[in-house]
Amino acid sequence: MDAESYRHVREPMKQLTMSETPEEIAAMNVFIRERSLATA
């Protein structure tokens, strides 16, 4: 999810996604779960 997404994301899911995002990707202000990267 882009940090400035047009889609509403509930706060618990947002926190989970942010906590599981690799630091290198989070530094670009983009948040994605690590498991999503593995299945992409």
**Tens-digit pLDDT profile for residues 21-35:** 999 999 999 889 888
Distance between CA atoms of residues 7 and 22, nearest Å: 22
Contact 24, 9 (CB under 8 A): no
Q: Indicate the average pLDDT of the chain.
A: 83
Instruction: Give yes or no for residue 2 having a pLDDT over 80.
Output: no
Q: CB under 8 Å to 30, separation ≥6 — which residues? A: 1, 2, 3, 21
CA 31 to chain centre: 2
Which pTM does this prediction carry? 0.64
